[in-house]
Amino acid sequence: MRILLVNKFHYRRGGAETYYLELGAALERQGNDVAYFSMKHPRNIPCRWERFFVSQREYNDPRGRLAALRDGAALLYSWEARRLFQALCEEFQPEIVHLNNVHRQITLSILDAPYLRKRRAGVVYTAHDYITVCPGYLLVDGSGELCDRCVAGGRYIHCMSRRCVKGSRVKSALAAGEAYLNRALHMPEKIDCVIAPSRFMSSMLVKGGWPEGKVRVLRNFADLSQVDRTCMQRDAQDRSQPYFLFAGRLSPEKGLMDLIEAFRIAGRELSGWRLVIAGDGPLRSAVERGVETGERGGRIEFMGYLSGGALCSLIERAAFSVVPSRWNENMPFAVLESLAAGTPVVGARIGGISELVDDRWTGLLFTSRDRSSLADALQRAAALFCDEGAYGAMRDACRRRALECGDSDCYAGRISALYRTLISGSR
Neighbouring-strand partners of residue 34? 3
Looking at the structure, do residues 235 and 369 belong to the same domain, yes or no? yes
In 3D, which of 328, 89, 99 has the Cα closest to residue 194?
99
Q: Quick check: 294 pLDDT over 50?
A: no
| Domain identity same for 204 and 283 | no
What is the residue type of 141? D
Residues 58 and 202 in one domain: yes
Number of domains in the chain: 2
**212 and 264 assigned to the same domain:** no
Amino acid identity, position 287: V
The reply to whether 95 and 236 lie within a common domain is no
DSSP string, 275-287: EEEE--STTHHHH
What is the pLDDT averaged over residues 409-413?
96
Same domain for 411 and 298: no
Whether the predicted pLDDT of 35 surpasses 90: yes
pLDDT band for 74, please (50, 70, 90 cuts): confident
Residue 135 lies in a domain: no
**The pLDDT value given to residue 308:** 86
Confidence of residue 113 (pLDDT cuts 50, 70, 90): very high
Does 182 fall in a domain? no
For the chain, what's the residue count? 427
Q: What's the domain range around 355?
A: 224-405
- For the CA atoms of 111, 115, 119, 123, the dihedral, rounded to the nearest 10 degrees, stands at -20
| CATH code of the domain containing 400 | 3.40.50.2000
pLDDT tens by residue, 166-197: 899 999 999 999 999 999 999 999 999 999 99
What local confidence, expressed as pLDDT, does residue 229 receive?
Answer: 63
In a domain? residue 164: no
Does residue 355 share a domain with residue 236? yes
Q: Which pLDDT score, from 0 to 100, does residue 76 have?
A: 87
Does residue 286 form part of some domain? Answer: yes
pLDDT computed for residue 78 by the predictor: 94
Of all residues in the chain, the percent with pLDDT exceeding 90 is: 81
